[in-house]
Structure formats: structure tokens, C-alpha cells
Structure 1
Amino acid sequence: MTATSSPTDRYVAATLRSLPERQRQDIEAELRALIADAIDDRREAGADADSAEREVLTGLGAPARLAASYSDRSLYLIGPEFYLDYLRVLKLLLSTLVPLWFVFFALVTFTDGSPAEVAFGGALYSAFETAVTIAFFTTLVFAIIERVSAVRTKRKATWDPSSLPEVRKKTGYFTELIGGVIFLAVIVIALVLAQTLGAVEGADGTKVGPVSSGLWESGVFYIALLFGIASISFHVLAYYTGWSTANAIANAVLVVLFAAPAIWLAASGRLLSEEYFSAVGWPGGENVIAVVVIVVVTLLTGGDAVDGFVRASKKRRTR
């Protein structure tokens, strides 16, 4: 026969189950002492042993919640400190990007020969998918921010009026960040329109756009878009956690991973379609545009990388 475990044993085991191994021994000793003292107090007040134990364990609450308090782990996805910022960002992104995508999708579908009702229905469904995607990734970014230890420590510090931040101007960093999101969306839409609606008939009778067809069909465009989304997500994270040297280095690495392939593709002639520029009456135009692409990518990405180090330097000087 085996002895049955007591309610206290089961409660302690359930609490320790979700805690790191290195913490269990100390927390078990502390928790058992706490429960034993509370039971003794109730028994001295006249309660029997079983009732006293039950009351104490009930008062401690669910083991998972108690374990979370020991490990300082959040039991919510986005807490009250960031919830209003989360709503503000989410509303702004949904109110700008989703309508832009709806109009773009409907226009492309209708121009491609689909009936108006089909174009509208497809655009509506695509806009819904876009909204869900935006909501998911925005929530993910803020959930990560919620769990960054540096931010949580800063939020839990004793509040003092001297810690109030300077009033941000409407033209401040956050507005620039949202402007970057809209700029990315406009660039993506313009590129897709140029490659689809702006396509012309090539020498073999097929439609060709300004971007090399092999490159377009290879999925490189989607990888570049993913880098853009990742960069914006990183800047949102840095906006709330504060720029540091580590953040600036990580941002610079992300910039290089995007800029180096883009510049190489443009410089090697693999980015643009020579056939397209010949068809529109501008032979050699792909070389001119390639130079423009190299200059723009270099300036934008280089400026972004330098800006990260500048912000990190300013933060160090204000400490």
C-alpha cells in the first residue's frame, strides 16, 4: 500500500511544476513554512486540522497563479501599462493600411477583367486577411515588449514626477515610425501596380514588368517585404524599450542583410528587366534606374543604421 499525499503536498507540487528547477528547493521550503504557520494559526483559533488546511490553501489561490508571482511571470498577454499604446498603434495601422490594400486589390482585380462584384468581394476578403495579419503581428510585438525585463523593471520602479518624459512633438519619432509604415505600404503598392497594370508586351508577346520576371517569381520580393516588416517591428520595440548600443548594432545588422542583396542585384543587372525598358522605348533605362535604386537604398538604409547609433548615444548622455 502507498500513502496518499496530503492536500499541502499536492498544492506544493502543482506550484513547483512550472517553476525553474534552480528555484524549486528554496520556494518549496518557504511555501511549506508559510502554509504550516497559517494552519497553526487557524487551529489555535479553533478550526480542525482538515478545515484549517483547506482554508489556507484556498486563500493562497490557484497554484499556477502563485507560481507566476514567484517567477515574476505575466499572466496576461498585454498588461495595462502598454494596453493603451497597443490600441493606438493597432487602430492607426488598421485605419490606414487596410483601406489602402482594399482599394489596391479591388483596382487590380477589376482591371484584370473580373466583374465588379467579384473584385469587391475579393478585395473585402483580402482586406479582412490583412487586418487579421496586422492585428496578429502588432499583438506579437507588444507581447514581446511586455515581457522585456528592462521595460518591466522600469515600469515597476517607484514613480516620481522627475521621471515624467518630455512632451513629444507631433512630428516626433513615433509619427516618423507610422510614416515609415505608410511609406512602405505605398512603395509595395506602387511596385505591384508597375509590375501588373504597368506591364507591357515583350518581344515574344508575353507581358513583362520593370522587375526581372525571374526575380519576381522567385519570391525575393516577399523576402524584401518581410525585412521591411521586421525592421518596423524592431523600431516599435526600440521605441518602447529605449535605444541602446545593442539595439543599434542589431538594427545595423538587419539593415545590412537587406541592403547588401538589394545593391548587389541592382549593380549586377539582375534586378530590372532589360526587355521592359526596350519595349517602352528607353533602351538602357534599366541601368539608370539601377543607379537610382543603389543610391536610394544606400541613403535610406545607411541613414537608418546611423540614426540607431545616434539615438543610443543620446540616451547614454541623458543618463
Structure 2
Amino acid sequence: MATSLTERYISATITSLPPDAQDDVRAELEGSIADAMEARLDQGEEPTSAEREVLTELGDPAALAAGYADRPLHLLGPRYYLAWRQLLRTLLMIVPVCAVLAVALAQVIAGASIGAIIGQAIGVGVTATVHLVFWVTLVFVLLERAGADTGPGWDVDQLREPTSTGTGRADLIASLILAAAGVVALLWDHFIGFLRIDGESLSILNPGLWPWAMAGLLALIALEAVLAVMLSANGRWTVRLAVLNTVLAMLAMTLVLTLLGNGLLLNPDFLQTVFIDNGVEPDSMRVLGILTWFMLVGIPVWDILDGWLKTRRDALR
């Protein structure tokens, strides 16, 4: 009798509960929802309408989960607490991170020491977090005192569809296409060249990378494709797969940054022809190098964090 709407409600309720309590709560909710729906159906109510009414009477899944976990919503009261928590969580995942990265990038460009960069970044991150918590909480306290409306109340239409964690067929196809494109790009750059200067091809990457360093890059791309196949076959992220994803990302980042740091990644003729011969100032070259370094670090770090977040999400499903 239960439909995807009921399943979405139950999933939204048990997601934040401890894993050892989720099965019991699921069974209890399934039973109580089925009984309540049966009583309405016996009175002649349509199944779809009965289900919506039963779930509406149960209320916001987050508030219901707080009751099961014995987490009273003290800070602002039930009317405002959940909206405050959701907004604060979202902002804390975005604002301090952006502030830290912006300050770190500015300090690196300014030529600050490692200690100054770390100190400034930590200081800004802590300050942004404190201010964010204080001001968001203050706004909600004022809203509560004034009795203001924080928006429409909860209803079943707010239940989210289950989100993909990147293990479906479309994700596999996209990953394999990206891997193939990476291999083609490396081979094209070496044998044909993306740039032609006075009729001569000019590779962007250092030709001296062939064969051993380039073989390592190609091997890492192949292993990423294998990981995508394993994820699709498994149907969900696991700790083992997240560890493998982390290892591959770290290996790729280490290899590329080592080559870049030793001046071996880019073709010296490419740098000379495109930048130096065109009058690009050394300071501008330095800024471009820093931006490249941040990009080469940021992409694998994000890939690692994304893998672990998806692992946690799948563990709670």
C-alpha cells in the first residue's frame, strides 16, 4: 500500500538518526502509516488523498526525527529552529570555505610566507564562522520575538526525491567519456598539437614527459575509468571505494604538482612563444602560475570531499 511518497517521508525521517535505530524507526513508521491509511480507506477515502493526509498529520520529518532521537528543539522553539538550522548549515558549508580560499589566494599572490598564509586563512575562517552563527541566530531570535512568518509550513510536497550519488548508468557513461577525452587530449597534444605557430605544431605539455611520466598520467586516467565501472556495478559509494578515489586523486595531484614545481609539466617553447615573446610581465606569469596551482589542488581536493560526502549519504540511505 505504501508508495514512493511514504518511502520518501520515512527516508527523510530516519536519515539523521543513528544507524542502529533506523531499522526500528522505519518499521514503526511503516506500521503506523499503514494502519492510519487503512482506517481512512475503510471510511471511503481515496488512497492518494489518504496517504497525503496521514503524512501531513505526522508533520515535518525533521521534527519527527528529533523526537525519536530525543533531541528537543530548544534554541528558538519548534517554529523557527528547523529553518534556522537548515539555513545555518547551508551557509556554513559555503561562506567560511570561500572566505578562506579567497584570503589564501590573495596572500599567495602577495608573496606572504607559509605561516602568514595559514594564520590569515585560519583567522578569517574562524571569524567568518563566528559572525555567521551570531548574525543568523540574532535574525531568527528577532523574528521569533516579533512573531514573524518564516514562510509556508511543511507539507508533503516538500519531500525530496532520492538524490543520485553518481553511480547510475548516465554517470558511468559521462565518466568514461571524460576519461576517453583526457586520453585523446594528451595524445593529440603530443602527436598533433593544439597550437600551430608559423605552420609548426606546438605542444602545451612538455614533450620530455614521454614516455614514463605520461604513461603514469594515462594509467591514472585508466584507473579512474575502472573506479567509475566499479561504482556503477556496486550501485552505491562505500568506504573502500571512497578510499580508492582518495588514493587516485592524491596520486594524480602529487604527480602533476611535482612536475609543475620542477618546471617539467609545460613545454618551455610554449611558454616562450605564447607568453614571454608576447611581453607578458613576470608578475603576471607568477599570478597565472598561482591560479594554476590552486586549480590543480582544488579539483582533486573537491573530488575527494565529494566522494566521502556521497559515501556518508549512501550509508544513511
TM-score exceeds 0.5: no
TM-score between the two structures when normalised by the length of structure 1: 0.39
Instruction: Considering Cα pairs closer than 8 Å and 6+ residues apart, tell me whether 1 or 2 has the greater RCO.
Output: 2
